[in-house]
């Protein structure tokens, strides 16, 4: 009886507590840029903010919500529902304060995601897929978008090394990637759902790498050096 009780507690932790905490952390993850975005809207400038993750948050969460529908997974649904709202708000906010080139970039990414997601929906309904194939379709699509989302801040790694400042990386987002990845890896392992486990394991590793860059090259390190050298060049971010 005690052995059975231990197994039940073990299953409870892996299949209920871990994903339940994952829902909270995922919501914090997707909402972590909120204060920065609100400040960006107040200042009226994009600054050093990398806007690429914003439409990816929206597209990623749409794909995972569709996966939750066909898989009947309430935890996956709850973890991504608010992300759709956050992602859309962040994207529209960044678009409003961006220069024409960045606006075109955001438009292309957003329209591309809309085309792919609506196309996947059409295949799901009209493509004659077996019930087991529908979760695979949405899981693979969500994985692709999620991996791009996790890696998006790495597009600025060259800039981080060049300036020796992590101003273009947003460390709260990286920290949430690490915590979120660990929780969903646990849930994916417990349920043998490798469509959940695999991308979150990658996100965990990428998040750690981004945090290491933030610790190695603090955001204000460049500004301090410029102040000492009396450089008149504008800083990467407006405080």
**pLDDT tens-digit profile, the chain (239 residues):** 444 445 578 788 888 999 999 999 999 888 988 998 999 999 999 987 889 889 999 999 999 999 999 999 999 999 999 999 999 999 999 999 999 999 999 999 999 999 999 999 999 999 999 999 999 999 999 999 987 877 766 667 778 888 888 887 778 778 888 998 999 999 999 999 999 999 999 889 988 988 999 999 887 655 454 444 444 343 333 33
Say if 229 falls within a structural domain.
Answer: no
Residue 150: CB partners within 8 Å, gap ≥ 6?
A: 177, 199, 202, 203, 206, 207
Return the pLDDT at 228.
43
234 assigned to some structural domain? no
Exposed / middle / buried, residue 36 (Cβ in 10 Å: 0-12, 13-18, 19+): middle
Q: Which domain holds residue 161?
A: 2-223
* Inside any domain, residue 10: yes
Is residue 205 domain-resident? yes
**218 falls within a domain:** yes
The count of structural domains within the chain is: 1
Structure-derived torsion over alpha carbons of residues 161, 167, 173, 175, reported in degrees to the nearest 10 = 60
C-alpha 191/C-alpha 99 separation (Å) is 45
228 found inside a domain: no
Q: Are 165 and 221 in contact (CB under 8 A)?
A: yes
How far apart CA 60 and CA 80 sit, in angstroms, is 8
161 belongs to a structural domain: yes
Q: What is the pLDDT of residue 3?
A: 47
CB 117 within 8 A of CB 141: yes
Rg of the Cα atoms in the chain: 20
∠ CA(156), CA(158), CA(161), 5° rounding?
A: 110
Burial label for 2, CB within 10 Å (0-12, 13-18, 19+), is exposed
Dihedral-angle region of residue 73 (phi above 0 means left; psi in -120 to 50 means alpha; beta otherwise): beta
pLDDT number for residue 45: 94
Contact partners, residue 14, CB within 8 Å, separation at least 6? 186, 187, 189, 190
In a domain, 39, yes or no: yes
How far is 87 from 98, CA to CA, in rounded Å? 16
């Amino acid at each position: 009886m005690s052995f059975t009780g231990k197994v039940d507690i073990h299953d409870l932790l892996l299949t209920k507590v871990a994903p339940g905490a994952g829902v909270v952390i995922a919501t914090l993850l997707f909402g972590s840029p909120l204060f920065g975005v609100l400040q960006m809207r107040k200042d009226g400038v994009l600054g050093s903010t990398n806007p690429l993750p914003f439409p990816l948050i929206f597209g990623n969460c749409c794909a995972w919500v569709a996966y939750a529908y066909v898989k009947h997974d309430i935890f996956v649904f709850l973890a991504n529902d608010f992300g759709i709202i956050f992602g859309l708000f962040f994207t529209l906010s960044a678009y409003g304060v961006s220069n024409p080139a960045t606006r075109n970039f955001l438009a292309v990414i957003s329209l591309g995601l809309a085309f792919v997601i609506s196309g996947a929906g059409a295949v799901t309904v009209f493509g004659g897929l077996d019930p087991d194939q529908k979760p695979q379709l949405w899981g693979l699509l969500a994985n692709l978008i999620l991996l791009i989302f996790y890696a998006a801040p790495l597009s600025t790694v060259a800039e981080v090394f060049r300036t020796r400042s992590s101003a273009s990386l947003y460390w709260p987002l990286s920290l949430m990637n690490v915590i979120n990845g660990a929780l969903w890896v646990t849930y994916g392992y417990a349920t043998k759902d490798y469509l959940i486990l695999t991308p979150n394991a990658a996100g965990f590793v990428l998040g750690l790498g981004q945090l290491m860059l933030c610790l190695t090259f603090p955001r204000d390190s460049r500004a301090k050096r410029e102040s000492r050298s009396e450089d008149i060049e504008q800083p990467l971010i407006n405080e």
